[in-house]
Structure 1
Amino acid sequence: MTVEGTLAFFGAYWPEIVAIAVLVLLSAFFSGSETALTAVSRSRMHTLENNGGKRAGMVRRLIDRRDRLIGALLIGNNLANILASAIATSLFIRLCGGFGVAVAALVMTVILVVFAEVLPRSFAISTPDRFALSVAWPVRLFVAVVGPVSSFFNMLVRRLLIACGVNLSGEAPMLSAQDEIRGAVDLLHREGSVVKADRDRLGGVLDLEELELSDIMVHRMAMRGINAEDPPEAAVRAILESPYTRMPVWRESTDNIIGVVHAKDVLRELAEPDVAPANIDIVGIAQKPWFVPDSTSLKDQLNAFLRRKVHFAVVVDEYGEVQGIVTLEDILEEIVGDIADEHDVEISGVRPEADGSIVVDGGVPIRDLNRALDWNLPDEEATTIAGLVIHESMTIPEERQAFTFHGKRFIVMKREKNRITQLRIRPVEDEIKPV
C-alpha cells in the first residue's frame, strides 16, 4: 500500500481505528491495575500510609474490599475487549467481506493478548507497588462508579456457589499469620535478601508461642545447685567458681528446692566487715523460688519474666516434681542464638569430621542442631537428638547400631546405661558412592 493509500485508509476509517486503540489502552490499564493491586505488598502500603502517603491509603482501602475491586476491574476489562473486538469486526467486514470475521478474530486476538494482557501484566508484576500507587486515583473513581454493579455480580456468584454446596464465608485460611510471615522470610532467604542469621531470629520469635518450657529448660540431670547442708565456705566457693549468676539451693534432694541464691548477694555479704565465708547463711540470703509448669509456652513465660522482673524459674511437671530450671537468657537464646560471655563454659556438642559426618552429643537440642546446620529434623516428639533416635527407632539402641530416617544416617557411638551420649550423623546421599 502506498503512502497515499495509507493516508486514504486512515482518513476513511480513522474513527474506528482511534476507538480500537483507545479501547485496547483501556483494557491494558485494567489488566495492569488488576495484576498490581492483587500483588501489592499490604505491609508496604501500611508503612507508606503511616508516613503520610495518601495514595498508599487509597490502595489499602481498595484491596480491603478485594472482591469488589476485582469485579469492577474485570467488568471494565471485558467491556473494553468486547467493544474493541466488535468495532474491529465491523471494520474488517467492510474491508474483507465474508472473511472479515475471521480476520478480525485473528488480528484482535494477537493485539489483545500482546498489548492488553501480557505486556501490561508483565510490567505491573515487575513493580506492583509503584504501579498500584500510580493507578490508585483513576481506579478509585472507576470502582466508585462500577462498584455497585460489581457487588451485584459478586452476590449473584456467591448465591450460585452456595447453591452448589460451596460456602466461601466459611472457608478458613490455609496458613496462619505466623506461617505466612515464616514463608515470606524463607522465600526472601532463598532469594538472598535475608541472611540466615536474621531468618533464624525471626523464626525464633515466631516459635515462642509454639514451644513449651520443657523444650528448652536445663534438665534436672544437667542442673547445678547448692546443697543447703554443705559447709558455708564450700557453698560460697561453689557459687563464686560457677559460671552462673543464679543457682538453686536444695535440701536433702534436688527435688526439694528451697531457694535461689544470687552471686551478687553473696559478694555483698562478703563485702561486709568481719564477715567470712564460714559465717554466711546461704539459705538466709537466698530468694524464694518461683515454680512454673513445664507446659507454659515461651511467649507466656517471657511475659511473666518481664512482668515479675525476675530471671530464674524452677520448672515442675503436673505432679509438682522438679524437671529443671529456665532463665530469661534461655528464652532469649531461642530468638538470637547462643549468648556467651567471658565466664561461660564452652561445651562442644557438635563436631564435624573429615569424612563429612557430624559427631553430636546425645543431649544436644534438635532445634540447636537445625539452626547450626540448616537441617529440618522434626522436634515435635523429642527435644534432644538422642530422644529423636529413641522415638524413631521405638527402642533404646545399642552401640554401633544405625538407623536411617529424615534423610540422615544415625549411628550410635556411645551409650551409658539407658542414655545415648554420642551419635554420628551423615546425610544419606553421602553414603551413595558413584559406580
Structure 2
Amino acid sequence: MIDWGLGLTIAAIFVLLTMSAFFSGSETALTAASRARIHQHERQGSKRAATAGRLMQSREELIGALLVGNNLVNISASALATSALIRLFGEAAVVYATFIMTALVLIFSEVLPKTLAILRPEGFALVVAPIVRVVVIIFAPVTVTVQHIVRLILRLFGVRADDELVQSAREEIRGAVDLQHAEGGLHKADRDRLGALLDLADLEVSDVMVHRTRMRMLNADDPPDAIVGEALASPYTRLPLWRDTSDNIVGILHAKDLLRAIHAAGGDYAKVNIPAITKPPWFVPDTTGLQDQLNAFLKRKTHFALVVDEYGEVMGLVTLEDIIEEIIGEIEDEYDVEVEGVTPQPDGSVIVDGSVTIRDLNRALDWSLPDDEATTAAGLVIHEAQTIPEVNQAFTFHGVRFEVTERERNRVTKLRLSKNAPLPD
C-alpha cells in the first residue's frame, strides 16, 4: 500500500532543498558579481541588470532577506525529514535525520549552488534578480525587525553598525589591479600606471617637484648675452630668473619667446630685452594636491609653477610633465639630460642619488619602502636614523641596507642600497 503522506513529505523536502539552493546561490552571485559589469549591462538596457544593481546597492537588506528565507526552508526541511524518519525508525531516526539532512543541505543546498554561482556570478545574478527582488519585498518586515534587534544587541557591547567603514571604490580597484598583477594578468608597468593614477588624489606637489638644489635658474642681473647663452645651452624650455638672491624669482623665461626676441634683434644677443619677454612666476603651496595642480595647469593653460613652503620660501618647481610622468613613467626626448639616479651594481646592490624619490625607487626596483614620512631616499635614511649620517655609515630599515657613500655638508647625495643584506659585525 502506497503511503501518500510519506511521499508528499519527501516531495516537500525536495522542494525546500531546491529553495535553499536558490537562496544560497543567489546570495553568492549577488555579493560576488562585479558591480561594474552589472552597471555596464544596465547601460545597455537590461532590466534584469537594473534590478540586480538596486539589490546590490541595498546589500544589508538583500543578505538579510536571503538568510531569513534560507534558514526558514532549511529548518522546515529538517523538521519534515525528522518527522518522516521517526515514522519509519522510531526515536533513533533523530540521529539519522541529522546526518542525512546535513549531507543533503551541505552538498545540494550550499556547496553545489555556491560553486555554480561563483563560476559565473554576473550571469547567475541576472537570472535570479527578479525573483530575489520579490523575496526581499516579502521578507522586508522580518528583515527590518531582525536588523533592529541586532543593532540593539551590538550597542549593548559598544559597537555601532552605522560606523562601519565601507571600502572605497579606489581601494577596490587597487586590490583588483594588484591581484591581476600577482596572477600574471597585468605587466608591472601597467600595474604601476594604474596604481599611480589611483594615487594621484593622495599626493601633493612636494612629492613630485624638482627640488631647488636641482633647479636650473638664470641670474637676471647678468648681461643679456650671458643670459641668452645659458638659456640656449640649457635642455629646458622654461627657466626661472632670480635677482639679488635665488629665492627672489622675478620671472620665467620661455625659449620660444627668447628666439623671437633674438630674431627681432637681428641676432644680436646684447640687444635682447630679457625682462620684457619674461612671464610672471606662478607660485603654488607645497601642500597643493597633485590632482588639483593638474586641473589648475589645464585651466590656466600653463605647464610650469614654482613651489613654496608655508613661509614663502622656494622649495622647487613642478611642471605638467612631472605630473604626467608620475602616471605613465619617465618621458624622455632628444633634449633630455639622462641622469642615472638608480644604478644597479654587479654585486646586486644599487647606487642611488639621495634626491631620488621613494616612489621612483619602489617603481624601479619593485620594492615597498614607505613614503609617509619622507619623500626621497636620503630623507628616509635621515628620518629613520634620527640623525644626519656620516659617509660609510650604514643602516638597515624595512629589509634594506642603506650605506651612505657621499655627503655634501648636511645633504646625503649618494647611497648604496642592498636588499636583505645584514650589517657587518
Is the structural similarity TM-score above 0.5? yes
Q: CA deviation digits over 1:173-228, x for unaligned, max 9?
A: 4x544333323322222122232222212222232232222222111111111211
- Take 2:247 and 2:302, find their aligned partners in 1: how far apart are those partners? 21
Determine whether 1:171 maps to 2:132. Answer: no
- Asked if the contact 2:394/2:423 (under 8 Å) is kept, the reply is no
- Take 1:176 and 1:134, find their aligned partners in 2: how far apart are those partners? 28
- Counterparts in 2 of 1:20-59, with a 5 A limit? 20-59=13-52
Q: Aligned partner of 1:253: which letter? A: T
Q: CA deviation digits over 1:88-117, x for unaligned, max 9?
A: 112212221232222122111111111111
The Cα shift of 1:45 comes to 1.6
SS at match of 2:20: helix
- Asked if the contact 1:185/1:199 (under 8 Å) is kept, the reply is yes
- Asked if the contact 2:395/2:423 (under 8 Å) is kept, the reply is no
- Take 1:127 and 1:351, find their aligned partners in 2: how far apart are those partners? 47
Runs of 4+ in 1 over 6 A off after TM superposition: 8-12
- Asked if the contact 2:219/2:241 (under 8 Å) is kept, the reply is yes
The Cα shift of 1:275 comes to 4.5
Determine whether 1:346 maps to 2:338. Answer: yes
Aligned to 2:142: 149
- Asked if the contact 1:232/1:278 (under 8 Å) is kept, the reply is yes
* Structure 1 residues 429 and 9: CA distance shift in structure 2, 3 A: farther
Aligned to 2:96: 103
Aligned to 1:255: 247
SS at match of 1:258: strand
SS at match of 1:271: helix
Which runs of no fewer than 5 residues in structure 1 stay unpaired?
Answer: 1-7
The Cα shift of 1:12 comes to 7.7
SS at match of 2:371: coil
Which runs of no fewer than 5 residues in structure 2 stay unpaired?
Answer: none
- Counterparts in 2 of 1:35-434, with a 5 A limit? 35-173=28-166, 175-272=167-264, 274-428=266-420
- Take 1:223 and 1:126, find their aligned partners in 2: how far apart are those partners? 56
Q: CA deviation digits over 1:356-411, x for unaligned, max 9?
A: 11111111111110111111111122221111111111122222111111101111
- Asked if the contact 1:404/1:410 (under 8 Å) is kept, the reply is yes
The Cα shift of 1:274 comes to 3.0
- Take 1:350 and 1:401, find their aligned partners in 2: how far apart are those partners? 20
The Cα shift of 1:230 comes to 1.9
* Structure 1 residues 411 and 31: CA distance shift in structure 2, 3 A: same
User: Between Structure 1 and Structure 2, how many residues are aligned?
Assistant: 424
The Cα shift of 1:69 comes to 1.3
Q: Kindly report the root-mean-square deviation, in angstroms, between the aligned alpha carbons of the 2 structures.
A: 2.1
The Cα shift of 1:153 comes to 2.2
SS at match of 2:251: strand
- Take 2:50 and 2:128, find their aligned partners in 1: how far apart are those partners? 13
